[in-house]
Amino acid sequence: MKKTIVVAAGILASNCIFAAGFGLYEATARGNALGGALVGSTGDASANYFNPANLTESTNVSVVAGLTFINPFCDVYVDGRPQTKMNPGWFVAPTFYASVPLPFDMAFGWGNYSEFGLGTKYGRHWDLAGDTLETTMKQYTFNPNLAWKPLDWWSVAAGIRMSYIQFENFKEPHHGESFYYDAYGITLPQYSNAYHLKSHLKGDSWDWGYSLSTSFRILTNLTAGVVYRSRIRHNIKGDFNLRGGVDTPLGRVSQHEDLHAGAKLTLPQSVTFGANWDATEKLRFGAAVTWTEWSSVETIRFRIPKYGYSEHLKWEDAWRFGFGCEYDLLDWLSPRISYVYDRDPCNNGTTMLPAGDRHIIGTGLGFKITESLRFDLGYSLVMMEDSDRRVSLTTMSGETETHKFSARNSFSHLVSATVSYSF
C-alpha cells in the first residue's frame, strides 16, 4: 500500500506542474486589453515582458507596476454525474518593470512577472478526489535585460530569466475504493469506501533560462518584433505527507508518512512574433502570435526515497493568436479592445486544470493623468470550450480505473490595473 500511495503522489507532482502549460500572459492592464499585441512597439518599461528590444524606445527612466486578479471556474461531471462546481477563488499575479536608458544607444531593463500558473479546487469527497482536491502552482520570473540599438530602425536585446516555482496539492488517495488485500493465497473480505486518507504535496525550485529578442521599423508607422524564450530546467524539491486510516477486518489501521520528494522537469521554449501599425495619429492596431514547444516535454522523472516513477505525456505544440486596437478618444482617455485564441496543448487526462481551447475577449481604458503618469484598467473574459478527458487512477489491487472527466461552462475573469511613471 505504501508504494502505491507514494507513486500516486509522484504522478500528482507531474500533473500539477505541467497543467500549467496553460501559460500566464497577463503582463499589464494595457497588454491584457490589447491581447498581448505589443511586440512590435511597447512604449514603456513593460517592454521587459512583451519585447525587451523595445527598451530602446524610451529616453527616460520608466517604471510600471500592476496587479491582475484571476478567477477560473466551471461545471464538472465525472462519468456523466454532476459534481460540485470547480471554483478556487481569486488569484493575484503581480508585475513590476523598470527601464533605464544608457549611453551608446543602449538600455537596461528589469521585469518581475509570472509566465505560468494554475489553481483548481473541487468539493470534498468528489468522485475524483483520488486525483486531486486542490492544486495551486505559482511561478515568478525575475528578468534583467540589456538592449542595444545599432541602427535607427533596428534594436536587439538579451536577458536572463530567473524562475522560481512553488506548488502545493491536496488529495484523498484511493477515495471511494473498497479495502483490498490478496497475498500468500489469502484474500481478506472487502469493505466499501475503506480508505480515509489525506495527502499533502508541496515543493519549490529556482532555475534560469534566457531570452533573445529583436525589433525593427519597417515603415514610419509599422514596426515588428520577435522574442525567443529558452527552456528552463527545474529541479523540484519538496515534501509529501500522508495522514488518515484504512478500514480492515482487524479494525482501522492508521497511516502516517513524511517523505522527501523531488522531480526534474523542463518548462518549454517559445517564440513570439508581433507587429504594430499606427493607422492614424489616434488609432493603433497590433497582432501577436506565440508558438510553445510543449511536445518537447515527453517524460517527467521524479524521485522519492526507495521509489521512482516516470510519467509519459502526449502533448502537442500550441499556438496563441492575439489581435487588439486602441483609440485616443480624448487627450486623456484611450479605450481598447482585443480578441485572443489560445489552443489547448494537453491530451493527457488530468483534473489539475480544466482543459479546452480558449477564446478571450479583452477590453480596457487608458488614462493619461499627466505627461509622466498613466493609469490603465483592463478586463478579460476567458471562455474555454467544453472538453472531455479520460482520467486514469491505479487502485490498490493494481488495476487501472478510467473515468470520463468533463468540464462545461468554463470561464475565467481577469481584472487588471497598472500604473506607469516616466521620470
**Domain segments of the chain as ranges:** 2-422
Report which residue type is found at 48. N
Q: What is the pLDDT of residue 24?
A: 84
Q: What is the C-alpha separation between 337 and 325, in angstroms, rounded?
A: 6
Nearest to 402 by CA among 91, 78, 67: 78
Query: Rounded to 5 degrees, what are φ and ψ at 17?
Result: -70, -45
pLDDT per residue of the chain (423 residues) written in tens, 0 to 9: 333 333 333 333 333 333 334 678 999 999 999 999 999 999 999 999 999 999 999 889 999 999 999 888 888 899 889 988 887 778 888 999 999 999 999 999 999 999 987 777 888 888 888 888 888 878 899 999 999 999 999 999 999 999 999 888 888 888 888 877 666 555 566 678 888 888 888 889 999 999 999 999 999 999 999 999 999 988 888 888 888 988 887 788 888 888 888 877 788 899 999 999 999 999 999 999 999 998 877 666 656 665 455 555 677 888 999 999 999 999 999 999 999 999 888 765 566 665 678 899 999 999 999 999 999 999 999 998 888 888 878 777 777 888 888 888 888 899 999 999 999
Cβ 350 vs Cβ 19: under 8 Å? yes
Q: What is the C-alpha separation between 21 and 15, in angstroms, rounded?
A: 10
Task: Give per-residue pLDDT as tens, 47-75.
Answer: 999 999 999 998 899 999 999 998 888 88
Q: What is the C-alpha separation between 236 and 222, in angstroms, rounded?
A: 43
Kindly report the CA angle at 348 between 343 and 352, in degrees rounded to 5?
85
Look-up of cell digits 508581433: 274
Question: Which pTM does this prediction carry?
Answer: 0.86
Superfamily of domain 2-422 in CATH is Outer membrane protein transport protein (OMPP1/FadL/TodX) (2.40.160.60)
Task: Give per-residue pLDDT as tens, 181-191.
Answer: 666 555 566 67
Q: What is the pLDDT of residue 295?
A: 82
Report which residue type is found at 234. H
Cβ 67 vs Cβ 93: under 8 Å? yes
Question: CA separation (Å) from 36 to 27, 118, 131, 274?
Answer: 8, 19, 34, 9
Q: At 246, is the secondary structure helix, strand, or coil?
A: strand
